[in-house]
Chains A and B, each alone.
Chain A
């Protein structure tokens, strides 16, 4: 059974800080997704990775397939980055397996 673990569960940061959220999974995957969910809102897909690194604005996602580990980094964090960040993995045609999410609060 594929399990997805995220750390930390909760994170509070000061505006401008560099933030890292980690995701580990237990079996080989075909893709890993990072998702963002604002309070009471729907989910936005940030990245889909199968190898290496992707960057979009202040967000960077990396994945190490051998170590079964991915990180999401936020540079120069801002209060509008406050949200729940969810890691989810895909194995072939099976449904996405979601982590429990990391709740980020960025304080001005």
Chain B
């Protein structure tokens, strides 16, 4: 049974056209994370929510925004995608911020034309 679900699995958008990626979880975890992973690189944390508390990484571009309307759902909005934003976007959850295991979704592969 899927615990962290991401939709869509593949997303194609045009340069500058806003796009929203979706993540949902059935684990009732407090923390949800969004990572960007480019080819052959380690995942890079963009931001995370602890409950409704939003935490943005210092080097996350303003082009990336996030929403968490409730415990189960979290969205990644890319306001004006550039070619450099093409990547795999991974959502993850954990019960808390300290030592708990992170559960990752299958990812959304974003292509920007």
User: Is B20 an interface residue, CB under 8 A from the partner?
Assistant: no
Instruction: Determine the distance from Cα of A101 to Cα of B42 in the docked complex, in whole angstroms.
Output: 7
Of A30, A43, A101, which contacts B99 at CB under 8 A?
A30
Size category of the binding interface on chain B? 20 to 34
The answer to whether A43 touches B101, judged by C-beta atoms less than 8 angstroms apart, is no
- Number of residues from A at the complex interface, CB < 8 A: 22
Report Cα–Cα, A95/B46, bound state, in Å: 10
Contact partner, B106, options A41, A90, A95, A99, Cβ 8 Å: A41
Chain B residue with Cβ nearest A87:
B42
Find out whether the CB atom of B41 lies under 8 angstroms from the CB atom of A100.
Answer: yes
Which of chain A's residues have a CB closer than 8 A to the CB of B83?
none
A86 touches B42 (CB 8 A): yes
Residue of A nearest to B108 (CB): A42
Contacts of B43 in A (CB 8 A): 43, 98
Residues of A49-68 contacting chain B, CB below 8 A: 50
30 A-B pairs with CB atoms under 8 Å apart are A31-B98, A33-B101, A33-B102, A40-B109, A42-B6, A42-B90, A42-B104, A42-B105, A42-B107, A43-B43, A43-B90, A43-B104, A43-B107, A45-B102, A45-B103, A48-B99, A48-B100, A50-B99, A86-B42, A90-B99, A92-B98, A93-B98, A95-B33, A95-B48, A96-B45, A96-B102, A98-B42, A98-B43, A100-B41, A101-B42
Residues in B lying within 8 Å of A, measured CB to CB: 6, 33, 41-43, 45, 48, 57, 90, 92, 97-107, 109
